[in-house]
Amino acid sequence: MSKRKRSRKEQKVYTIHWPILLGLTALLVAVVLLMVGVVRACALPGDALTASETPEPIIAAPTRSPIPVDVNFTKVHRTTVNVFFPDEGEIREMLLEEYLMGVVSGEMPASYSLEAVKAQAVAARTYTLYSIQHGGCKTNPKADICTSSSCCQTYNSEKREHDKWGAQYAYYHSVIAKAVMDTAGEVMLYNGKVIDAMYHGASGGWTENSENVYTNAIPYLRSVESAHEIGSRQTGQVTFDRPAFVERVNGARPNAHMTLENLESQIKTLSLYPSGRVEKLQLGEDVITGKTARKIFGLDSAMFTVELTDTQVIFHTKGFGHGVGMSQAGANGMAADGADYKTILTHYYTGAADRRIRHLSGRGPGPLHGGPGAPRSFFARKKR
């Protein structure tokens, strides 16, 4: 194609499209002017937007400045733990407080009050040492503990923290660091021994006696009031259509022989614990515990009521988790009311005391050193 020919063709294209473009522009301007006019005409003086019409603010909340904290893990003590990471399939030797950073971050919302996060740091440290003293990780016998929540304790990597917190990362990470470093080496003891520091999301108003959830009555895991709770998932609801409910019951408990007819007469709460959690529930010809009901119906907690509508069976739950030991939402509520972390811990762990174990990495007798059940790997590394 010659240069001249191409130039003529380009010119032809312009002469065809200019009028259309101008026409479209004029039409667009006219439409915009018309819309502005309509909006102005409708916005009468004194008109107020209702709450549901209020647009979401498009400006993000300001990022808070990180709390100053000295994150020097080896400065406090040099206790190390062998942590198994199932996803990577590897065991890493980590400093105890470094490991706890990921645990506290994974186990409690960093938006909770600092004193509540500190209580969580002590509870997680105590739980970790108790686990090590009682056989370590069940999934990997070579590890002290693992990062699976179903086996040991949840663990958040820094990458996961970045994904979760985004622009708030620096601030939330500093909250966790402050909580861990300010309580470094502190654990809960009962009669001089590290306690089984169980914890859960929300109690629904009262925590539970250990024997009502597990087998043993443990003196420091008593039901206590947790009147003021601040946190997510404090109440929940699980709904089944009537046929699906009957199928679920008979699938899990064949002896129930539940039928769709007269369903109301086949469901009955037989007894409650003083905390308000269900002790026994009648389902058809079978009787189950509240704990079993949690598993069968996927309930947030054993503190529940059952409602039957014309077509559905609805479980209304209060609290989140097993209810034993420290309530995290309760800790947050207590912190909001001015309690410090030691007050929170001694409230939920009856008769236990918070102690800083100064010789975690040093010499001399102490609750974590020597004696039967002491983890060999733990003490073998203590002098580093």
CA dihedral 340, 183, 180, 80 (to 10 degrees): -150
Any contact of residue 269 with Zn ion (CB under 5 A)? no
Q: Which helix (H) or strand (E) holds 101?
A: helix 96-107
Query: Cβ atoms within 10 A of the Cβ of 212, count?
Result: 20
Are the C-beta atoms of residues 91 and 143 closer than 8 Å to each other? yes
Radius of gyration of the chain (CA): 30
The window from 75-83, 151-159, 323-331, 357-365 that contacts Zn ion (CB under 5 A) reads 151-159
Binding mask 305-324 for Zn ion (x = CB under 5 A): --------------------
DSSP state letter for 225: B
* 268 bridge partner residues: 282
Token duo for residue 19? 């009028």
Tell the residue number behind the tokens 């189950």, with chain if given: 288
Identify residues 90-129 at the interface with Zn ion (CB under 5 A).
Answer: none
CB of 139 to Zn ion, least distance (A): 4
CB of 220 to Zn ion, least distance (A): 23
CA angle 37, 41, 44 (to 5 degrees): 145
CB of 357 to Zn ion, least distance (A): 23
* 317 bridge partner residues: 236, 304
Any contact of residue 139 with Zn ion (CB under 5 A)? yes
Binding Zn ion by CB under 5 A: which of 91, 95, 114, 151? 151
Binding Zn ion by CB under 5 A: which of 108, 124, 129, 152? 152
CB of 207 to Zn ion, least distance (A): 24
Number of residues that bind Zn ion (CB under 5 A): 5
Three-state SS at 11: helix
CB of 144 to Zn ion, least distance (A): 9
The window from 139-147, 165-173, 280-288, 323-331 that contacts Zn ion (CB under 5 A) reads 139-147
The window from 20-28, 150-158, 246-254, 355-363 that contacts Zn ion (CB under 5 A) reads 150-158
In the complex with Zn ion, the residue whose CB is nearer, 147 or 266, is: 147
Binding Zn ion by CB under 5 A: which of 100, 101, 104, 146? 146
In the complex with Zn ion, the residue whose CB is nearer, 130 or 240, is: 130
Q: How far is CA 82 from CA 161, 294, 358, 363, in A?
A: 22, 33, 21, 21
CB of 124 to Zn ion, least distance (A): 14
In the complex with Zn ion, the residue whose CB is nearer, 152 or 177, is: 152
Binding Zn ion by CB under 5 A: which of 100, 132, 137, 249? 137
Are the C-beta atoms of residues 207 and 324 closer than 8 Å to each other? yes
The window from 134-142, 285-293, 314-322, 372-380 that contacts Zn ion (CB under 5 A) reads 134-142
CB of 178 to Zn ion, least distance (A): 27
Buried b / exposed e over 270-293, threshold 16 CB at 10 Å, is eeebebbbbbbbebbebbbbbbbb
Are the C-beta atoms of residues 116 and 344 closer than 8 Å to each other? yes
The window from 86-94, 141-149, 185-193, 223-231 that contacts Zn ion (CB under 5 A) reads 141-149
DSSP state letter for 365: -
Three-state SS at 343: helix
In the complex with Zn ion, the residue whose CB is nearer, 81 or 189, is: 81
Interface residue list for Zn ion (CB under 5 A)? 137, 139, 146, 151-152
